[in-house]
Amino acid sequence: MNSISLNADLAAISRLVVEGAMLVYTFAFLTFAYHLSQLASTKKAVRAGATKLERVGIILLAVAAAIHGVGVVLRGISASRVPWANMYEFSIAGSFVVVTIFLFALTIKDIRLIATFVAGFNLLILGTADTIFYVDVKSLMPALQSYWLVIHVMVAVLATAFFNIAAALSIAYIFKTAKWVKASKLKLVDLMRRILALFPNEEKLERLSYRFNIIGFILWTFTLIAGAIWAERAWHRYWGWDTKEVWTFIIWTIYAGYLHANATRGWNGKRSAWLAVVGFVAILFNFTVVNLFFKGLHVYSGLK
């Protein structure tokens, strides 16, 4: 029955491909960052030239995403299973979903301005994955051998990607409405102010963030339920306050609070934007600190 085959050579190629994608992400990130500074220029001619630069950035980002996707698929083939069974794989698959959703959303909504954030974020995640989380391709421990690995984790990745984009929009909102940004006379803040002026207005940012968050919340609710169904099969109880279950619950509760905040006078706007950011920080915490340092049943980082 030992039919699992691992292909270490292919895994090494996959890693190289992912590193190649990182290189292109770097170019995309630099292009977007430079583009933003150009856009914020006081000279009209400089601003006019920036549009071309943005197109180059988007193309670079799409190329990076395509290479990234190839890397993720190769990793899956090398392990003969879905490529999200440990932290390294979850990082490369998750960041691929983030960039895919972003590129897809671009065709519906004009959210080009957070491209810098998306490119930078993916670069950071891939860099961490490649240097800290990397593990050789491994066979699945029996507890992970379930179709729920496909459903539960895939939906969790999707939810995380939506929350991620929403958090980026909320951060833009927070800066845009911050008093110190409005008042400061520092040159750097002035540049930031001019960049922020390019973003959609506050109301639009808030609404966009809300829309990404509600999709994230529905997906997260599903992740929680699917996790409980799987836990009932694998761990003989549907809920046991395992550290990962605790944090899934905490994140769900924070975003439930966020949704209520949006319907409460005095809590919408800045406070709800902060809640969206806190929720996403909790997700990052859940993925990094809880995985690596907390004791629990979800010890799947594959790291020692």
Partner 1 sequence: MPSSQLSNEPVNSPEIGIKGWLRWTWRQLTSMRTALILLLLLAAAAVPGSVFPQRSADPNGVTAYFDANPTLAPILDKIQLFDVYTSAWFSAIYILLFTSLIGCVLPRTAAHARALRLPPVATPKNLKRMPAYKSASLTTKKSQDALLANAEALLKKQRYRVAIEAASGKTGGSVSAERGYLRETGNLIFHLSLMGVLIAVGIGGGLSYSGQRVLVEGESFVNNLAGYDSFSPGTFFNESQLVPFSVRLDKFEVDFYRDKTLKNQANAGTPTDFRAFVTTTLGATGKSTTGLIRVNEPLAMPNANIYLTGNGYAPSITIRDKQGQVVYSGATAFLPQDKNYTSLGVIKVTDVPKQYGIISFFYPTVGTLDSGALTSLYPDAAIPLLSMNVYQGDLGINGGQPKNVFALDIKNMKQIAGGKSGVKGLRLQLGETVKLPNELGTVTFDGLKRFASLDVDYNPGGVWVLVFALLALAGVATSLLVPRRRVWIRQTETGFEVAALARGDDPVLEKVVAEIVSELAPKKIKKESDE
Distance CA 250, CA 158 (A): 18
User: In terms of C-beta distances under 8 Å and separation of at least 24 residues, what long-range contacts does 197-204 make, across chains too?
Assistant: 197/40, 198/36, 198/39, 198/40, 198/113, 199/113, 199/172, 200/110, 200/113, 202/173, 202/176, 202/177
Q: How far is the CB of 217 from partner 1 (least distance, A)?
A: 7
Q: How far is the CB of 182 from partner 1 (least distance, A)?
A: 27
**177 token code pair:** 């409405």
CA distances from 195 to 32, 35, 61, 137, 171 (A): 12, 10, 20, 43, 14
Distance CA 266, CA 264 (A): 6
Determine, following the binding rule CB under 8 A, whether residue 264 of this chain makes contact with partner 1: yes
Q: Binding pattern to partner 1, positions 141-180, x when CB under 8 A?
A: xxx-xx----------------------------------
The only residue of 16, 59, 150, 218 in contact with partner 1, by rule CB under 8 A: 218
Could you tell me which stretch among 15-23, 53-61, 117-125, 261-269 binds partner 1 (CB under 8 A)? Answer: 261-269
Which of 74, 279, 11 has its CA nearest to residue 169? 279
Residues 6 or more apart from 144 whose CB is under 8 A from it? 85, 300
The only residue of 19, 20, 53, 138 in contact with partner 1, by rule CB under 8 A: 138
Cβ atoms 238, 231 nearer than 8 A: yes
Q: How far is the CB of 93 from partner 1 (least distance, A)?
A: 20
Distance CA 97, CA 301 (A): 19
Distance CA 287, CA 98 (A): 15
Could you tell me which stretch among 23-31, 55-63, 67-75, 138-146 binds partner 1 (CB under 8 A)? Answer: 138-146
Determine, following the binding rule CB under 8 A, whether residue 269 of this chain makes contact with partner 1: no
Determine, following the binding rule CB under 8 A, whether residue 260 of this chain makes contact with partner 1: yes
Determine, following the binding rule CB under 8 A, whether residue 242 of this chain makes contact with partner 1: yes
Q: How far is the CB of 241 from partner 1 (least distance, A)?
A: 5
Determine, following the binding rule CB under 8 A, whether residue 281 of this chain makes contact with partner 1: no
Q: Rule CB under 8 A: which residues touch partner 1?
A: 1-2, 4, 6, 8-9, 135-143, 145-146, 207, 210-211, 214, 217-218, 221-222, 225, 228-229, 232-243, 246-247, 249-250, 253-254, 256-257, 259-261, 263-264, 266-267, 275, 290, 294-296
